[in-house]
Amino acid sequence: MSEIKLKCPAKLNLNLSVLRKRSDGMHEIKTQFQLINLFDELLIKKTAKNSPISVKTNLGTSIDDKNNIVFEAIKTLSDHTDKELYCDVEIKKNIPLGGGLGGGSSNAAAVLIGVNFLFKLGLSKHELMQIGKKLGADVPFFIFGKNAHATGIGEKLIEEKELIQMKYLLLFPQIHSSTKDLFLQWDNLNKKTQRLIAQSEENSFLPIFLDNDAEIKKNFEKLNQINSLKLSGTGSTIFCAYNEYKEIEKTLKKIPTKWRHSFCEPLQCSPLLTYLK
């Protein structure tokens, strides 16, 4: 086999609480991850020896090659196995960047799994998760490949076996939300405010995210009166759960014209598990 094509799922945070900042600068969190059927597509091709690693996307050069977490993932895997891994990677991005849906982390997980399979490296899921943790807090979850409750920095996972039957409406306000910036803003809040947010919000970042953009806040509050809205990760994706289309018809009519939206369904497990032991 000289190439492999993978589907990289997105995730939603059904809740997200920031618990504390650790001495290493990382944050302890508590969250529930839910996989959804919104996918990036990733193609890995073996190349000739001594060919440079190439990572290309459909979004232009700004996230190609060394600017892409996938490039770092291949290098990290190469260092771990002490093997040169010559390959090209093409990524069709459908998951919005900076949307709190884990697109980059899902891509990194997929390339670790795909390269391990393609080059017959023989690494276990646990080993790949340990490598993934070096790349980003969400990467181990996408290698784990099942819905889960997460603690630690997001790497301590307990499978959620109950299947969610509801569908999801995803709203994309067309802004990039920086996880690093949102955590810095959280750290700058006083302890009392942090405690109040933790007690009153399903997602600790929601008040900060809304306060960063008056127009988004206004539209969120208007739409939230129709359907209960949530924020995924540190944003910018806003979503609501529903059973029947008629429940969200009114919301769809009120979405700002420059916002995109998508209809998604929950996944029980990731298609990436096909290529793991």
Please identify every residue annotated as catalytic: 11, 138
The DSSP H or E segment spanning 194 is helix 191-200
Question: In the numeric block, which tokens belong to residue 88?
Answer: 């090209």
Write out the DSSP string of 106-133: HHHHHHHHHHHHHTT----HHHHHHHHH
- Listed residue (129, 100, 96, 59) closest to 272, CA to CA: 129
Quick one: 170 exposed, middle or buried, by C-beta within 10 A (0-12, 13-18, 19+)?
Answer: buried
Question: In the numeric block, which tokens belong to residue 23?
Answer: 């001495």
Question: In the numeric block, which tokens belong to residue 216?
Answer: 């988004």
Distance CA 157, CA 23 (A): 22
Close Cβ partners of 70 (under 8 Å, ≥ 6 residues apart): 42, 55, 89, 91, 107, 108, 111
Write out the DSSP string of 147-168: -EEEETTTTEEEE--SPP--EE
Distance CA 275, CA 210 (A): 40
> Strands of 260-264's sheet, edge to edge?
230-231, 238-242, 167-172, 260-264
Close Cβ partners of 127 (under 8 Å, ≥ 6 residues apart): none
Question: In the numeric block, which tokens belong to residue 102?
Answer: 């884990």
